[in-house]
Amino acid sequence: MSFGCAGVVADHVETLIKQMRPTRTRPSVAVIGSGVIGLTVASELRRRWPRLPVTVYAKELDVRRTTSFKAGGQFEPAGIYEEYETQEQRDVLADYLRRSRNRIVELGDSSLWRRYGIALRRNYTLDHRNPGFDVFTPLDVVPRPRVGMLPFRSLNTLGREYRTWLINPTVLLPHLAVDLRRQGVRFRRRAFADKEALCRLRENILVNCTGYGAKALLDDQQMTARRGHLVILRKTSHKQFYFFSGGCANYRAMYVFCRQHDIVVGGSVQAENDSETRTPEDDAVFGRVCDNARNVFAGLPAACERLR
């Protein structure tokens, strides 16, 4: 989604630049946040305007410490599509997805997929409805799935195969940061107490890419925390080259993302929980995350437990 968001932001910046021309004001942009949205926005701005002054401000400039770095990396509007209720809103989401698809294809045509951690993946699910793909993703972005027996030794059941992309943030973010610095984008470590502090920046175009941080920084009460648990495993076979998502047979959440160098297992979502402290209760959830994945691939997809 970040590539599509970056394209929309760049369109807004273009409008502001045109409005500034009669005043002869030289535009400059401050991107607030160094996660995947902040870096893809800065990258798109530099791509469109090679000489436009762009500065990325963030309380943490090490991309390995951002929330984005911990994400799994599948191309799918999972977890957000519920917010797009009307047809008009769905059209907006479809535009984001198409923009993202177009930029991913463009990067592939430039032979940059490997550099940015992008790869085409088969996404396997059980044979049940998957709204993120089936309802909210246009067919020209992710085609209809193939239906047939799943290709796993013990999971002998009917399933679906979608074609989507892996965008691995552990590869993408460091390379974007390196590229941006080479292209003259400045990075500044700065923590902002409130929106008044933002207004004191010297740049005249500000782009908020703080994600959940906008709740405190801009008093955005629409922002809600959604905390999850991820288990990172070492890859043991070159055949581990797929996604498995869509949940268990009893509709418990579970997913497995095989990335370039590791495997991400997850499924938990804790609403209104923004704690970053690990507790004994979290350790129990990590255990259930692994148990659910074991049960599914052992041919027991209805044995998954609820993750809390």
Domain boundaries, the chain: 1-73+169-223
- Tally of residues, the chain: 308
Taking alpha carbons only, the member of 57, 4, 3 closest to residue 201 is 57
pLDDT for res 276 = 87
Q: Quick check: 226 and 79 in contact, CB under 8 A? A: yes
Mean pLDDT of 202-207: 96
Q: Starting at the earlier edge strand, list the strands of the sheet with 262-266.
A: 146-149, 158-167, 118-126, 242-244, 255-258, 262-266, 231-234
**CATH topology (fold) of 1-73+169-223:** Rossmann fold (3.40.50)
Q: What is the pTM of this model?
A: 0.93
Per DSSP, the three-state class of 249 is: coil
Instruction: Find all residues with CB under 8 Å of 283, minimum gap 6, and list them.
Output: none
Rounded distance between C-alpha atoms, residue 180 and residue 175, angstroms: 9
**Residue 1 pLDDT > 90, yes or no?**
no
Q: Supply the DSSP symbol for 211.
A: G
The pLDDT tens digits of the residues spanning 122-179 come to: 999 999 989 999 999 999 999 999 999 999 999 989 999 999 999 999 999 999 999 9
**Which tokens belong to 28?**
């400059």
Q: How many CB atoms lie within 10 A of CB 50?
A: 9
Distances from the Cα of 210 to the Cαs of 26, 57, 216, 218, 255, in angstroms? Answer: 25, 10, 10, 10, 26
Average pLDDT over the chain reads 94
Residue type, 110: S
**Which tokens belong to 292?**
């659910």
95: enclosing H helix or E strand:
helix 87-109
The pLDDT tens digits of the residues spanning 78-116 come to: 878 888 889 999 999 999 999 999 999 999 999 999 999
Q: Quick check: 60 and 66 in contact, CB under 8 A? A: yes
pLDDT for res 223 = 87
pLDDT for res 202 = 95
